[in-house]
A and B are shown apart, each in its own frame.
Chain A
Amino acid sequence: MRRILLAAMLTFLLAPLARAADIERVVSPQGIEAWLIEDHSNQLISVTIGFHGGSATDPRGKQGLARLTAALLDEGAGDMDSAAFQGRLDALGIEFGFDADWDNLTGGMRLLTRDCDEAFRLLGLALSAPRFDADAVSRVKAQMLSAIAGDADDPETLAWQSWLRLALGDHPYTWPIKGTPTSLAAISAADLKAFVARRLARDQMKIAVVGDIDALTLATLLDRSFAGLPAKAAPIEVPQARFATPGGVAVIDRNLAQSVVQFGAAGIMRQDPDFYAAALIGDIMGAGNLTSRLEGSLREQRGLVYSVETYNAPYDRVAILGGSLATKNATAGEAIALVRAEWRRMHDEGPTAQELADAKTHMIGSFPVRFTSTYGAAQALLDIQLEGLPIDYVDHREQLYQQVTLEDARRVARRIYDDAALRFLVLGHPEGVKATLPSPPLE
């Protein structure tokens, strides 16, 4: 019991410090920048790192390149082969990994303070000198093939992938991020090395660190780990994505007990001044917490779905205002009609003053939840950087939401909630659904 009390007092004393520290911009002697939140309450450090340029830069025929590269960055670097590199991470209990989405290659690690030097050394090595040994490449390719098979078994993933093809045609965003068996087979070690050389450069790099480390120590480690990376990345040549079909419904017939429905249209980009209004309306419509209009209509009142959700997802080359639901085949038509009706109501009437006020309270009040763990906080800081927002965004965020007026919200609702523009993709044996668009091809 004495130990518990001592620990409690210690944490209590440190707490005000941790919060007052806020977000610090750390710039190393060689000019490498990281955003830092110091938190010494546990002997833990979380690091996130991201580079602009993700799977949308994959060459045609080599889809999956960015994701495969990311998956191989912890499979051997410098003079350590896969077994040596992973054995080192393992022995120290360092969590470590990379991933790629359409727009970015991102990664991170969580480690004990005692292993800080070694963890940063391994991170720098992984980014600057990955090996891509043949045995590791073929093993990770087999793991990705297995993951691709898993995607084919997941109705939600399949519906999302098919919706993209329906809505955005042949844009790289519609190519599977993990690639295909054929495209993975076409990727060589030279392709992987070329991706690293072109993309993993300092001018596209963002770093966030949260935990038991101070700015001076971090600055030294930044130089040691990342100064060797190339200064400049190759240009990112990805065209804007455009909606390829008019609104309507496409059906892919599958032997499923429950129809899975994806829907969406053009949304609001991150840099658009209407972004904050769109986020608030989205919270009211279906991105909120069991209290949204769509949850109320489809789930609470009618019991048609276990979940229905919507999002405004701004990517670098397109923004999607969309959503998803699943309902038994017999009620698929009814569910779609109800989504359309709520879309129209939002378009015609906008939110009420009370709904808008509540959404502001929720959007502002829920933000700190992202900062309750060191890794969550590091991810939040990285996201803010990758979106090109300034370091004081966290301070201004509340005001950006507060200043949205009811008039703004109604105008933005009219601008983006156009039910005629919605493209629906239904996977299953839906009843009461008339297909008006051709089914996109399943690969």
Chain B
Amino acid sequence: MSELGMAASPVRSSRRLLAPLVSLLLLVVGLSSPAKATLFTAESFTLGNGLRVVVVENHRAPVVLQMIFYQAGSADAPPGKSGIAHFLEHLMFKGTPSVPAGEFSHRVALMGGEDNAFTTEDYTAFHQTVARSHLAEVMQLEADRMTNLVLAESQVDSERAVIIEERRRDIDNNPAGQLVEMMTASLFLNHPYRLPVLGWAHEMVTLSRQDALDFYHRWYAPNNAILIIAGDVTAAEVRPLAEKIYGPIPARSLPPRQRLTEPTTFAPRQLVLRNADVHQTFWQRVYLAPTYRDPPAATGYGLDVLAELLAGGVNSRLYKDLVIAKGIATAVNADYDASLRDYGRFSVTAVPPVGGDMAKLGRTIDADIADLLAKGVSDSEVAAAKGRLQADAVKARDGLMGPARLIGISLSVGLSLDEVQNWSDRIATVTPADVMAAARRVFRIDTSVTGELQAETQP
């Protein structure tokens, strides 16, 4: 914690309710750019062993960020081993023959650094921010644990207890987290996206050292990773370092990625979680949606604009109707989540006032969606939404983590660097007809799950 007062404040905001939802949606917030310019100053190349490298320049401070994305996440868990990708993420800090347990983060700290990691459905990412003079060292640390991980049984046992504490915090102690977990498992009836990233509690307790090593040997390889270096550095500087440090690691033959797909669904699903301890309630609808890669090509971009004009600002449809005009919500959010490889998600979330009428809130949102489908969208609201998205694009260049994360996620889900770079130009071409085509494609109630977190205990 910094010595500077505001940063040191332990006072916490009420970020919990929407955090698990909003964190899924960062792709949309980040992805944008000024018209006729690429989003980032970025260059990419691929090493002989298949490691894809992207360098994103930002010279604001003499600092660099390394981020590696392994293309394996919770959806790649073998049956009965839910959470193994996340467990391995934790165990990746347990050392190698040359870097003993606990040393990794310590060494990064001595480079003026911070390090962490995160796991999602499709990938597992590790990142370190260090002074630029330490770039080669931190690359060596990451390359070392790509192949040399050593796991002692006792460390596996204590770390398993840690991830179970993590689940207690995020799920057991958090009814909103419980509801979102149930909704996800109901949205995906067959695809492994139904599994919680942390894992089901009863399977987490059985995860073994061998399970973790099997997953590691199956997926952790240069030809299954994307390396992002962002900050006060150029591609010309990074390339020789990457070739020297990561280049010698041999490629591995990767197993085919076999995932089940979703069936045709015949009915919407509705979930209500009632908890006597809950004070802040919410309503959420999630539709299964296409990805950017699904045809027709304009759909994903149309969904970005659709989300923005529904709830992206004070003049958006839902904010104006629910928050301003009717006062039946205190907050509303619409989101196109394109951060998954195989399916997209489109969601609408609203928080009623304390003691507010949840049923009326849900009915009103449904009526607003029906109204949009029946009457269409205006040229001016599409233009305003596109303008806001393009202003966000310029702001997305600010900082190291945002751009690196955005590029890493986008490439991980199968987009090209060009598609990331040209996102803003593509948004500029979206027409009201594209938005309506996207809306008709996504607003199909039989593909949706509606969840309500309620404060009452009675049925």
Contacts and interface: CB of A to CB of B under 8 A. Distances in A.
A307 to B, nearest CB: 8
A303 B159 contact: yes
B419 interface: no
- Grouping DSSP codes into helix (H, G, I), strand (E, B) and loop, the A interface class, with mixed when no group exceeds half, is helix
B273 interface: no
Interface string A297-308: 001111111100
Interface stretch (B208-216, B241-249, B291-299, B386-394): B386-394
Nearest to A211: B398
A290 B395 contact: no
A7 B38 contact: yes
Given A146-B280, A154-B16, A282-B1, A289 B62 contact: no
B168 A92 contact: no
A70 to B, nearest CB: 13
B416 interface: no
Q: Looking at chain B, what size class is its interface with the partner chain?
A: 35 or more
Interface stretch (A125-133, A220-228, A381-389, A402-410): A381-389
Contacts of A419: none
Contacts of B38: 3-4, 7
B234 A8 contact: yes
Nearest to A316: B5
Nearest to A7: B41
A395 B266 CA distance: 66
B16 A287 contact: no
Contacts of A3: 37-38
A373 interface: yes
B363 interface: no
Contacts of A156: 12
Contacts of A83: 314-315, 324
Contact of B394 (A43, A90, A150, A314): A43
Contacts of A374: 60, 398
A95 B391 CA distance: 10
Contact of B58 (A106, A288, A368, A372): A372
A18 B176 CA distance: 45
Contact of B161 (A288, A304, A324): A304
Contacts of B398: 42, 44, 46, 110, 373-375
Nearest to A363: B3
Interface in A83-106: 83, 86-87, 90-95, 101-104, 106
Max chain A C-beta neighbours (<10 A), residue from B43, B279, B324? B279
B8 A312 contact: yes
Contacts of B384: 90-91
A5 to B, nearest CB: 8
A203 interface: no
A387 B4 contact: yes
Contact of A4 (B42, B112, B161): B42
A83 B102 CA distance: 53
Interface in B173-211: 173, 175-176
A15 interface: yes
A51 B102 CA distance: 42
Interface residues of A, number: 114
Contacts, number: 296
Interface in B300-357: 313-315, 323-324, 327, 330-331, 351, 353-354
Contacts of A324: 10
A204 interface: no
Nearest to A312: B8
A147 to B, nearest CB: 5
Contacts of A290: 93, 102, 105-106, 109, 115
Contact of A289 (B17, B57, B65, B114): B114
A372 B232 CA distance: 9
B6 A101 contact: yes
Max chain A C-beta neighbours (<10 A), residue from B42, B111, B330? B330
Contacts of B388: 90-91, 93
Nearest to B162: A303
B145 interface: no
Contact of A153 (B114, B163, B278): B278
B394 A42 contact: yes
B452 to A, nearest CB: 15
B279 A93 contact: no
Contact of B59 (A18, A147, A363, A368): A18
A139 B324 contact: yes
B330 A146 contact: yes
Interface string A227-255: 00000000000000000000000000011
A101 B330 contact: no
Contacts of B17: 150, 153
A291 B388 CA distance: 42
Contact of B1 (A8, A95, A309, A375): A309
A40 to B, nearest CB: 11
B327 A362 contact: no
A301 B6 contact: no
Contact of B387 (A7, A93, A177, A379): A93
A311 interface: yes
Contact of A314 (B5, B63, B108, B392): B5
Contact of A322 (B6, B10, B163): B10
B106 A257 contact: no
A364 interface: yes
6 contacts: A86-B313, A102-B11, A276-B3, A279-B3, A368-B63, A369-B112
Instruction: State the 10 A-B residue pairs at the shortest beta-carbon distance, nearest first.
Output: A365-B112, A93-B391, A303-B161, A373-B399, A15-B59, A150-B14, A303-B158, A149-B279, A257-B172, A383-B4
Given A364-B112, A379-B7, A380-B4, 14 more contacts: A87-B314, A101-B6, A143-B330, A153-B279, A153-B280, A157-B12, A305-B165, A306-B169, A366-B112, A372-B399, A373-B400, A375-B398, A386-B6, A387-B5
Interface of B: 1-14, 16-17, 34, 37-38, 41-43, 57-63, 65, 93, 101-102, 105-106, 108-115, 129-131, 157-166, 168-169, 172-173, 175-176, 231-232, 234-235, 277-280, 313-315, 323-324, 327, 330-331, 351, 353-354, 384, 387-388, 390-392, 394-395, 397-400, 402, 421
Interface of A: 3-4, 7-8, 11-12, 14-15, 18-19, 39, 41-44, 46, 82-83, 86-87, 90-95, 101-104, 106, 110, 112, 139, 142-143, 145-157, 160, 177, 181, 254-258, 260, 270, 275-276, 279, 282, 287-291, 296, 299-306, 309, 311-315, 320, 322, 324, 326-328, 358, 361-377, 379-380, 382-384, 386-387
